[in-house]
Amino acid sequence: MRLGLALPVGDEAAAAAAAEAAGCAAVLVEATGGAAVPAAAAAVVRTCLVRVAFPVRLGSDHPVTLAEDVAVLDNLSSGRIVAVVDTGDLGPEEAAEDLSVLLAALTPRPVRHDGSRWRVPAGLEGHRAPDRIEVTPKPVQVEVPVWIRGAAADALDPALPRLVADRGRVDPERRVQPAVAELAGTADALDADRDAVVAWADAGATHLLVRFPDPAEGLPLLGRFLAPEVAMPEFPRVIAEADPPPPWPGPARYVTPPQEARP
Amino acid sequence: MRFGAGLWCLQSTASCPRHPAVPYAEYLADARLLERLGYDALWLSEHHFFYDGYCPSTIAAAAGALAATERLTVATGMSLASMRDPERTAAECAELDRRYPGRFELGLGLGYRDVEFDGVGVPRKERAERRRTMLRATRRGAPGVPVWLGSALPEAVARAGAHGHGVLFSGANPLTLVRDLATAHREGWESSGRTGERPRVAALRNVWVTDDRAEREAVMAWFRASYVLYAGLGWAVPKRGETAAMDFTQEVDRALADAVSTAIVGSADEVAAGLREVAAVGVDELVFRVVVEGAPQAAVHEVLHRLAEEVLPHVADAEVVA
């Protein structure tokens, strides 16, 4: 299982950079509403390797417009975006239609959709327009990962991963099973945190996005103890219990990844 | 005398957490610097199913560094011979030799971790036979690619010499053992009656050039930490003659101290003197074990610069590499 950081609302940029430096695989933007896209962009530009998962709330805009947000952020990040699609206030059928338009708009095919909520292109009177539109730019990724959550999630394509917050909802059969959980992130509570991440891994989660009350305190513990613990079965105790040498004298190892790793 | 550096393992460890893509980016930059400074070779290492992402495909990683450079030799020390299909491996080696003539060298190790065999359904007891099969396949399919073997047992090293294979020795071996093994290899080669160039003897050495006391202490601590990793992997050197066993799995503290005691750390003059001692025991190629986990890349690069510019010109028989 791989670990990531759920980003504190309002402090995404610094927390994302710190998460990347700590070796996290991904960060999760928890800001919602109008804050989601700006927060995701802030996380993107301060990192160059981590995946950036951010909420896309169905019903908050035209699904084509939401897809354009996703595509722009995917280009801004050279292909590191995960869309966490939340069904919001939509009912099952509404959510299904919006999701299908969103997904269609993210493929490199022209889009044409005629449903109860949306008609794309709308073909409004007086417009001279083709009967299909190409939503551009296209995402960098061949397929932008889409994780589903929300009240109407069960009605949506079962093939898409579900982002769960309840360990009982982990499905070990899924190829991708992301989860989000709160940990203490303190040295005093290290054993409990270790037990928690092991429990998520044993349940079958593939990616655990961790909320820490204080990421500055929790991230070093994540990198040193928690991520290794769930990176292989029977993580050797001689490594878990060894005291690493003090940091190299002089400037910090690095604060941003090496230039070569930048997109 | 040939000079190389290693081992690149491409890990993201518990002591130095980082994104798994970072070591790969650093690796390519390191390869370019080695070439620019005139080093002969870069050495990779392989393990499977380890928490830190230890490079499981040395051939793919070698292909990357070869593509990123123009003259540097890239060698695997070692690829695990049991874990790959011999014909596919031979075809890959031949392709690397075709694209980058004379620049790829293949180390073939037996492997020692049960989980690595079990993970791909290979009985560990077949590992020697599988390596023989791999040796036949690569010699037939990629005859231009030099083959290296690794062992700390004189009889195995002598056999490697007799078959015309180079040998790479662990950086944890004390010099007395290196001398015995180098002698065994040379005798094996000479007794085989083969003609042509004698296969080479390469030795990894923990080396660090610094005039700074704090950095000297730091590198010794991180050399020690690097063997904690091998304790985690379950690596051991068997007892032989006057050389004590080094069993990281059983006697961690003493084995760590022994391994670290072989390090050559100090000023340029001190390191040159230490390397002359290593060269004197019959080593044809020094592989500097400078990929120190806790050291920032800039510190590793500084040491590579200083070795090339201040040390190697003063090592006996050394061609000036810088």
**Structural domains in chain A, sorted by start:** 2-261 (3.20.20.30)
Task: Supply the pLDDT for residue B261.
Answer: 86
Task: Supply the pLDDT for residue B303.
Answer: 98
State the complex-level ipTM. 0.80
Pairing of strands B236-237, B246-247: antiparallel
Task: Supply the pLDDT for residue B164.
Answer: 96
Residue B203, domain member (yes or no): yes
Residue B217, domain member (yes or no): no
Say which residue, A156 or A127, is predicted with more confidence. A156
Q: Give the other-Cβ count within 10 Å of B82's Cβ.
A: 23
* Range of weakest confidence among A4-8, A252-256, B246-250: A252-256
CB contact under 8 A, B296 and A231: no
> Across residues A22-30, what is the average pLDDT?
97
- pLDDT tens column, A131-159: 999 998 999 999 999 999 999 999 999 99
Contacts of A241 in chain B (CB under 8 A): none
Residue B66, domain member (yes or no): yes
Residue B248, domain member (yes or no): no
User: How far is the alpha carbon of A151 from chain B, nearest alpha carbon, in Å?
Assistant: 34
- pLDDT tens column, B103-137: 999 999 999 899 899 988 999 999 999 999 999 99
Six-digit token string for B4: 């190389």
Residue B213, domain member (yes or no): no
CB contact under 8 A, A242 and B218: no
The residues on A that touch B, with CB distances below 8 Å, are 20-25, 49-50, 222-225, 227-228, 231-232, 235-236, 238-240, 242, 244-251, 253-254, 257-258, 260-261
Residue B320, domain member (yes or no): no
Residue B272, domain member (yes or no): yes
Task: Supply the pLDDT for residue A112.
Answer: 96
Q: What's the CATH number where B303 sits?
A: 3.20.20.30
Residue B243, pLDDT > 80, answer no
Nearest to A260 among B13, B28, B222 (CB): B28
CB contact under 8 A, B18 and A23: yes
Contacts of A253 (CB under 8 A, 6+ apart): A247, B16, B294, B296
Indicate the average pLDDT of chain B. Answer: 91
Asked whether the beta carbons of B195 and B228 are under 8 A apart, the reply is: no
Residue B240 has what DSSP assignment?
B
- Among residues of chain B, what percentage have pLDDT more than 90? 80
Say which residue, B162 or B320, is predicted with more confidence. B162
d(CA B308, CA B58): 26
Residue B320, pLDDT > 80, answer no
Domain boundaries, position B12:
2-208+264-314
Q: Which residues of chain A form beta strands (DSSP E)?
A: 2-7, 26-29, 51-57, 81-86, 113-114, 119-120, 146-149, 178-182, 207-211
Residue B222, domain member (yes or no): no
Residue B102, pLDDT > 90, answer yes
Q: Give the other-Cβ count within 10 Å of A114's Cβ.
A: 10
Contacts of A235 in chain B (CB under 8 A): 51
CB contact under 8 A, B26 and A260: yes
Task: Tell me how many domains chain B contains.
Answer: 1
